[in-house]
Chains A and B, each alone.
Chain A
Amino acid sequence: MMSWKEQLEGKIEPELQREIEIFALQIELRGQDKVEEKLFAETRLRKGVYGQRYDNGVRHDGNDVQSLGYEEKLSKGPNTVWDAPGMQRIKLPYGGLNAEQLDVLAELAEEYSDQIVHVTTRQDVQLHFVHLEDTPDIMRRLGSVGITTQEACGNSVRNVTACPLAGVCRSEVFDVTPYASAVARFLLGHPDAQAFGRKFKISLSGCADHACGLANMHDIGLIAKTKDGRRGFEMYVGGGLGAVPRQAKRFRDFLPVEELLPISQAICRVFAKHGEKRLRGRARMKFLIEQLGLARFDELVLEERAKLREDPRWRTLLEGAEQVQEVVLSAPETKLVALGKPDGPPKQWRDTNVYAQKQQGFSTITVCLPLGDLTSDQLRGLAQTARQFGIEQIRTTVEQNIVLRHVPNAKLDGLFAALDRIGLAQPGAGTIVDITSCPGTDTCKLGIASSRGLAAELRGQLAQKNVSLDQAVKDLRIKISGCFNSCGQHHVADIGFYGVTRKRGRHQVPFFQVVLGGKWRENAGALGLAIGAVPSRRIPETLELIIDRYVEGRESNETFQQFVERTGRANIRAWLDDLSVVPPYETSPELFSDWGDPREYSMSDHGVGECAGAVVPAAEFGLQASEREVFEAQVLLDEATPGEAAKRAYEAMLTAAKSLVEMEVEDIAQEPEVIAEAFKTRFFDTKLFFDPFAKGKFAQYFFNAHQHRDVLTNAEGARQRVEEAQLFIEAAHACYDRISQGGAS
C-alpha cells in the first residue's frame, strides 16, 4: 500500500517527522480510548488541528436544529465529535512563503479541504473541513517543503509575526526577518514555553511609526532600534486584544539583540510559572502584568534570566543576521516604466498596490485577497508568476493579503497582467475596501454574527464607489470580528465592528457593535471604543452615515481619530439611535437573518471555543509521551527488533521519571544519570513513589533498566523490559495522581 509517509521518507526534517509520527500514533491511541479527551484535545490543538462550527454534531437550518448524523465514535475534545471535519491552521513565521510551498498548499486544499486557502490576521493560513485522519498526511506534505503546524493553536507560542515589508521597507531601522525567524525557531517546542495557561503572541516591527508589526497588541512586541551602532529592540510586553484589550507596556528601551532570545525565554518562564491557569479569561500575560505591576514582573524576569544556563542557540540562531540579504533573482531596473499606458496597470492599482522598495529599481506588490481567500488555482498561478518573475520571497500579511517582493520595476506591466489573469490584480490595498475579517459564523464555533458576510457586502459596496470617495475616507481601515474576541482586530481599526446579538420578541437578531477611533498606525497606537450596536443588515447605511459625517464635518487635516474625539462618542451614538431600533419580525423579516446566509438567525449554533484548550500540566504530557514510547517498544518487539525494543522501553521509563522529577525540580539536566539520581533521592528514598502494596518494586525496575541500559538484550529480556516499563509507567501515573490530589503519603 503506497502512502505519503513512504513517499516522503527522507524529505522531512527528522525531528519534525518524529513529531508527526507521534501525532499519528496519538490519533490512533485516542481512537482506542487510550488517551484522555482533554489531553488529546490540547495535543491536537498544539498541532494546529482545530475545531470548527457544527463539530458538536448539530446545526440550525433556519427552522429546526438538525443532527448532522456523524458516526458515533469517541470525541476528539470536549463537545467535539471525532467524525466532524475541522480546521487545520498552518504556521508561517513572519508570513514567509515560496513558490514550492504555494504549490503544496494548493494541492492540500484540493485534496483534503474545499480548494480554498484562507490567510489569517496573524499571517497563518488555514484549511477548513479537514478530517482528523487526514492531518498527519497534511503535516507530512507540508513538512516536505519546510512548513510545520506545530504549536499553531493551543496554549503555546503562536505564529511569530513581522512586518511584511521587513527587508524592503524604506523606513525600517533594520530587517527584522532573521530575528523573527530566530525567535520562532528558538521557542518552537521549547521546554520553557510548554506550561502556559493561555496562548502567547510575539511580533516584530522594523520601525515605530508604521503599523506593520502591531507591536502594541502582542504579549511581546519588538521594534527595531539601534544604539551606538548596535542593533537591538525597543521591547513591549503585555499587549493583547480579545474581550479586554490592553496596550502593551514598554519593558526595555533598548534590548541588545544578544539578549533577544534569553530575555524572551525568561519572560516565557515567568508566564509559565506565575500566569493564571484556572480562569481562562484572566490567563493571558496582560493580566499577569497588571496583577504584578511592571516593576515586579521585571524583577521576576531578571531572576529567571539569571538562572538560565548559557544556550549556544542564543548565538547560533542569530549568526549572520546582520548580513542577511534576500535572494534577488531578477536584475533591478531604476526606471518605473509604462505604468500609465493604456494596456498597463491602472493608476488605481499603481497608487495602492505598488510600494517602492528601499532597494532602488525594485517594488513590492500587494496582492489583495478578498476576505483573505484564494483558490488552489490562484495559489498555483501565483507560484508560477513568482517563478516567472524571479520572486523568491512571498509573504502573507496581517491584513490578509499577500506581498510579492523584489519585483524589478521594468516587469511591473507584465506582473500586473499575470496577476490579472488569475484574478489577483484588484486595486485598493491598504484602503477602506481592503477589509479585514475573522471567519465569524462561517466556520468559527464562537462566531456570533457573520463577519465575512458583512465584509463581503461592504467591500462590494465600497469598491463600486471607491474612485469617488474622498481621499480621507479612502485611507480609513475597517476591521470586523464575529464576536468580542477580536480575531478580526476591530479594536485597532478606524472603524471596527464586532458581532453581538439582541432579542426582539421571540426572535434573535444579529447585530454589530460599532467601534470607532482605533489606530492602525504606530504599531496599533490606540484602541477604539464601542459606540453602540446596530442590526447587521443596517451596518452598510451606518457606515455610510459615519463617513458622510466625517467628510462633511472634518476640519482641515483632521484625522478620523481626532474627528471622533472632537465630536464626542455621545453625539456619535445619537446618530445611530434610529438605526438601532428593530421593528417587529412581521414588518422587517430581513433584519432577522445575516449577510450571505438566508437562514433565520439563531444563536443555537454558538459553541464552546477551543482557542486555548484545556490547561494540561507538563507532567501529564510527559506521562503521555512515556505511554506512547512503551507502545512503540511493544511494536518494536513485534517487529523482532529486541535491542531497539528494550532501548525504547528504557527511554519510556526515563521519560516518566523525568515527568515526576520536573514537578519538583525546575531545569533538571537532560542526562539520564542526573534524572535517575534525582528520581531516586526525591521519589524513592522519600517513599513518595511507593504504593501500599508493591512499595518500591516498580522503581527498582527503572533502576535496573537504567543500570543495564547499554547491555545487549535478547527477545526474552526485551519482553521483560517492556512489561516492566509498562508497570513503572502505571506506578508513575498513580504517584502523579496522589501528588496532584495532595494525598501523597
Chain B
Amino acid sequence: MITAKVAEETVPSPLSGKKYAVKVFFEAGVQFEPHDAVLLFHRWIQERVFENTIDVVNYAHVHQGPKVMLIRHHDYFAYDDRDGRPGLLYVQRRPHEGPFEDRLREALDTTLRAAQRLESEGVRFATGQLEFGIYDRLFAPNTFDSFARVEHRLRQQLSELFKDDGLSLEHASDPGRPFTVSIHGSQKESWRALG
C-alpha cells in the first residue's frame, strides 16, 4: 500500500488533467450540415439556451474537424467531423477544478444537455457510443500507461452514470492526439432517455 501511495504522489495522474472533452456521434445519414449548425448556434445565443456563450465560429471550410463552434467562456460545442465521423463535440478550454468524478459528470452533463437539445431539434444520435478525452498533455499524454491508470475509475463512473455494466473502453492510441478513450455500450432510445 505504501509503495502504491508513493507512486501515486510522485507520478501525476492523468485524472488530474484539467480539461475534458466528450464527443457524441450523429446517427448515420442524419440531415444536419455545418450550415444548419451555424443557424442553430446563433439562435441558441439569441434564445439564451446556454450560459456564457460568446460567439459562433464558422470553420466549415476545413477538412474533417471542428467545422462550426458555439464558443463559450470556458469551453465550446462543435459540429465536428474528425475522421469523417460527424457529431457533437464538447471541449473545455479552461481548467476545471474538483474531484475527477465530479468533473467527468459535469462534462458529460453539459454535453448531453446540448445533445438532448439537438434531439429536440430533430437531430438523431448514435447513442451506443461516445468518446472521452483529456485535453491536457501535462497530466495526460496519450499513452497506454495513461489509459491503464484511467480505465478502472472511468469505467466505474461511466457504468454508474449510464446504468450499463457492459461498457467497453478502447484507447485511441494515436500519440499525437489528445488522450482519448472510445466507449461503447448499449443503444438507448435517445440521449433524452437518460433524463
Closest B residue to A426 by CB, please name it: B63
Binds A, one of B120-128, B130-138, B184-192: B130-138
A47-66 near B? 1/0 per residue, CB < 8 Å:
00000011000010111001
CA distance A459 to B62 in the complex (A): 13
Contact pick for B60, options A107, A112, A423, A456, CB 8 Å? A456
CA distance A423 to B84 in the complex (A): 11
Question: Taking the complex as formed, is B59 at the interface, i.e. its CB lies under 8 A from any CB of chain A?
Answer: yes
Which residues in A have their C-beta under 8 angstroms from that of B93?
85, 111-114, 129, 131
Question: Taking the complex as formed, is B149 at the interface, i.e. its CB lies under 8 A from any CB of chain A?
Answer: no
Quote the shortest CB–CB distance from B57 to chain A (angstroms): 6
B46 touches A377 (CB 8 A): no
Question: Taking the complex as formed, is A480 at the interface, i.e. its CB lies under 8 A from any CB of chain B?
Answer: no
CA distance A46 to B151 in the complex (A): 44
CA distance A422 to B19 in the complex (A): 26
A85 touches B73 (CB 8 A): yes
Binds A, one of B25-33, B47-55, B104-112, B161-169: B47-55
Quote the shortest CB–CB distance from B29 to chain A (angstroms): 22
Contact status of A442 and B57, CB under 8 A, knowing A70-B73, A377-B177, A422-B63: yes
B66 touches A375 (CB 8 A): yes
B178 touches A110 (CB 8 A): yes
Question: Taking the complex as formed, is B76 at the interface, i.e. its CB lies under 8 A from any CB of chain A?
Answer: yes
Question: Taking the complex as formed, is A21 at the interface, i.e. its CB lies under 8 A from any CB of chain B?
Answer: no
Question: Taking the complex as formed, is A451 at the interface, i.e. its CB lies under 8 A from any CB of chain B?
Answer: no
CA distance A68 to B72 in the complex (A): 9
Closest A residue to B16 by CB, please name it: A2
CA distance A456 to B66 in the complex (A): 16
Quote the shortest CB–CB distance from B97 to chain A (angstroms): 12
Which residues in B have their C-beta under 8 angstroms from that of A370?
61-62
Which residues in B have their C-beta under 8 angstroms from that of A53?
55
Contacts of A106-138 to chain B: CB distance below 8 A: 106-107, 110-116, 128-129, 131, 134
Question: Taking the complex as formed, is B42 at the interface, i.e. its CB lies under 8 A from any CB of chain A?
Answer: yes
Contacts of A1-33 to chain B: CB distance below 8 A: 2-4, 7
Question: Taking the complex as formed, is A83 at the interface, i.e. its CB lies under 8 A from any CB of chain B?
Answer: yes
Question: Taking the complex as formed, is A220 at the interface, i.e. its CB lies under 8 A from any CB of chain B?
Answer: no
Question: Taking the complex as formed, is B100 at the interface, i.e. its CB lies under 8 A from any CB of chain A?
Answer: no
Contacts of B1-35 to chain A: CB distance below 8 A: 12, 19
Closest B residue to A116 by CB, please name it: B59
CA distance A704 to B180 in the complex (A): 61
A103 touches B62 (CB 8 A): no
Question: Taking the complex as formed, is A201 at the interface, i.e. its CB lies under 8 A from any CB of chain B?
Answer: no
Question: Taking the complex as formed, is B115 at the interface, i.e. its CB lies under 8 A from any CB of chain A?
Answer: no
Which residues in B have their C-beta under 8 angstroms from that of A134?
94
Question: Taking the complex as formed, is A168 at the interface, i.e. its CB lies under 8 A from any CB of chain B?
Answer: no
Contact status of A63 and B46, CB under 8 A, knowing A54-B55, A111-B137: yes
CA distance A660 to B8 in the complex (A): 54
B73 touches A115 (CB 8 A): no
CA distance A377 to B65 in the complex (A): 8
B176 touches A380 (CB 8 A): yes
Quote the shortest CB–CB distance from B45 to chain A (angstroms): 5
Contact pick for A375, options B42, B51, B54, B62, CB 8 Å? B62
Closest B residue to A376 by CB, please name it: B65
Contact pick for A111, options B12, B52, B136, CB 8 Å? B136
Which residues in B have their C-beta under 8 angstroms from that of A377?
64-65, 82, 177
Closest A residue to B42 by CB, please name it: A598
Which residues in A have their C-beta under 8 angstroms from that of B51?
69
A114 touches B69 (CB 8 A): yes
Which residues in B have their C-beta under 8 angstroms from that of A597?
38, 42, 56, 58
Closest B residue to A134 by CB, please name it: B94
Question: Taking the complex as formed, is A363 at the interface, i.e. its CB lies under 8 A from any CB of chain B?
Answer: no
Quote the shortest CB–CB distance from B48 to chain A (angstroms): 8
Contact pick for B54, options A68, A373, A442, A598, CB 8 Å? A68
A598 touches B57 (CB 8 A): no
Contacts of A67-87 to chain B: CB distance below 8 A: 68-70, 83, 85
| Interface majority SS (helix, strand, loop, mixed), chain B | loop
B137 touches A114 (CB 8 A): no
B87-114 near A? 1/0 per residue, CB < 8 Å:
0000101100000000000000000000
Quote the shortest CB–CB distance from A400 to chain B (angstroms): 12
Which residues in B have their C-beta under 8 angstroms from that of A68?
52-54, 73
B61 touches A116 (CB 8 A): no
Contact status of A114 and B57, CB under 8 A, knowing A4-B138, A596-B38: yes
Contact status of A378 and B65, CB under 8 A, knowing A107-B137, A596-B38: yes
Contact pick for A373, options B46, B55, B62, CB 8 Å? B62
CA distance A418 to B157 in the complex (A): 40
Contact pick for B58, options A111, A128, A453, CB 8 Å? A453
Quote the shortest CB–CB distance from B142 to chain A (angstroms): 11
Contact status of A375 and B65, CB under 8 A, knowing A70-B73, A114-B71, A598-B42: yes
CA distance A98 to B124 in the complex (A): 42
CA distance A24 to B66 in the complex (A): 31
Among A106, A111, A116, residue most surrounded by chain B Cβ atoms (within 10 Å):
A111
Which residues in A have their C-beta under 8 angstroms from that of B48?
66
B38 touches A54 (CB 8 A): no
B63 touches A59 (CB 8 A): no
B138 touches A106 (CB 8 A): no
Quote the shortest CB–CB distance from B127 to chain A (angstroms): 25
Question: Taking the complex as formed, is A371 at the interface, i.e. its CB lies under 8 A from any CB of chain B?
Answer: yes
Quote the shortest CB–CB distance from A40 to chain B (angstroms): 21
Which residues in B have their C-beta under 8 angstroms from that of A107?
137
Question: Taking the complex as formed, is A354 at the interface, i.e. its CB lies under 8 A from any CB of chain B?
Answer: no
CA distance A232 to B46 in the complex (A): 59
- A residues contacting B by CB (< 8 A) are 2-4, 7, 53-54, 59, 61-63, 66, 68-70, 83, 85, 103, 106-107, 110-116, 128-129, 131, 134, 370-371, 373-378, 380, 383-384, 422-424, 442, 452-453, 456, 459, 596-599
- Can you list 13 residue pairs at the A/B interface with Cβ under 8 Å? A70-B73, A85-B54, A115-B65, A116-B66, A129-B54, A131-B94, A374-B62, A375-B64, A377-B82, A423-B62, A423-B64, A598-B39, A598-B42
Q: What 8 A-B pairs come out closest when comparing CB atoms?
A: A423-B63, A375-B65, A370-B61, A380-B176, A61-B46, A2-B12, A596-B58, A115-B66
Other A-B pairs beyond A103-B176, A375-B64, 20, CB < 8 Å: A2-B139, A54-B54, A85-B93, A111-B19, A111-B135, A114-B78, A115-B65, A115-B91, A116-B59, A129-B76, A129-B93, A373-B59, A373-B62, A375-B63, A376-B65, A377-B82, A380-B176, A453-B58, A597-B42, A598-B42
